[in-house]
Amino acid sequence: MKEIEIIINGKAMSVTEPIRLQQLIEQLEINKGKFAVDINGKIIPKSEYQTYDIREHDNIEIVVAVGGG
């Protein structure tokens, strides 16, 4: 296992490889509510979170839906 650098919402972060997207979401303690994940300009479907491998230098944007009106 080795440390890799990724960018999450504009901030550099180190994680231990191998890591799947679902594991990263759990580590970040993201609310189970509605959110979307974009990696390198591509929206990742929730159905792929368990199998999507995070790679070094991935640029990840996590957008959480906020209710209101």
Query: Which residue range forms the structural domain that includes residue 57?
Result: 2-64
Please give the pLDDT value at position 69.
64
Kindly report the pTM of this predicted structure.
0.89
Q: Within a domain: residue 69?
A: no
Structural domains in the chain (count): 1
Cis ω before 45 (30° cut-off from 0): no
pLDDT in tens, 5-29: 999 999 999 999 999 999 999 999 9
Q: What is the CATH number of the domain that holds 43?
A: 3.10.20.30
**12-20 — which CB contacts under 8 Å span 24+ positions?**
15/54, 17/54, 17/56, 18/53, 19/53, 19/54, 20/49, 20/50, 20/51, 20/52, 20/53, 20/54
Residue 26 lies in a domain: yes
The answer to whether residue 56 sits within a structural domain is yes
How far apart CA 21 and CA 2 sit, in angstroms, is 17
